[in-house]
Amino acid sequence: MPIRLTERQRRLAHHVLLFDRPLAHEVAEALQRATLACAENNLASTGLPEFLCGLYLQFRQELRVHFDGEVVALVERTFPKHRFGDKGLVTERVLENAASDEDSGFGYSVVLSDDLIRLLWTATRLADAVGRKTSLKDVIAAITLEDEWLGELRRNGVTPKEKLRDFGEVLNVIFFATLYAHGRWPKQMQFDMDEKIHPPFAALVKTPSGGFAAMKTAAMKLNGKPVAEISWPDRPEVNVPVELQAKNTVEFEFDGPQFGSMEVTIRGVALGTPLA
């Protein structure tokens, strides 16, 4: 559930983030670009999508390293009026008056959304832990810590380039085994249903495992029914839906070499884990 700050809580957070200067210089400039662009495009507050646009205006090349998708389209859609470089750090009026040598003030309202405050606070906590000011990488790492924040970016057509490890991939496991061609490795194993994990179930069979060699061929049966076959190098991995019983038996046939290896993972959906 989203956290909603009171006005006094929000005022304190604004003060810390904007005046205590925990952000690295370039991240602070990215936030300035975002808040200024919000003011010039008549947006009520600066949230995560708007801040990502500010990051793009500040770190155009670096951001492309970390994100895929429609970042440029998001910037153009969110900020029809925007500027790169030094001009993106001052208001239009300052630019106009500078051209005519007139004096001008520099001011606009800054309103950060509660989600953006939490994101910046989290990124700053990561930076604090290693004794530095909040960098672009701290911000990117913080975004990945909340499914809500990642979902907000995905809804705007933006996704991280790197595959993110999800602990749900561990919680959803009902069976896991590694098998090796050498010695007397068991070719039959049993496991029970786990009441905390429910369907749909799927079996991932792949070779090789870790730093060992690959099996030439391998096949797997589940409760007497063939479910998967793999071969190296043509078909090293398969992921197939399976049905489980209260008690289950898996059987394997494989052809080396001596240090050939494979692994099998059967997953379901842990209670409380989103299906998506």
pLDDT band at 275 (very low <50, low <70, confident <90, very high): very low
In whole angstroms, what separates CA 101 from the centre of its chain?
47
pLDDT over 90, % of the chain = 81
pTM (two decimals): 0.79
Q: φ, ψ for residue 250 (rounded to 5)?
A: -115, 140
Query: What CATH number should be reported for the domain whose range is 168-270?
Result: 2.60.120.340
202: nearest Cα among 240, 176, 251: 240
Extents of the domains making up the chain? 7-160, 168-270
Residue 276 confidence class, pLDDT cut points 50, 70, 90: very low
Task: Fold for 7-160, please state it.
Answer: Double Clp-N motif (1.10.1780)
Average per-residue pLDDT in the chain? 91
pLDDT tens sequence across 141-166: 999 999 899 999 999 999 999 988 88
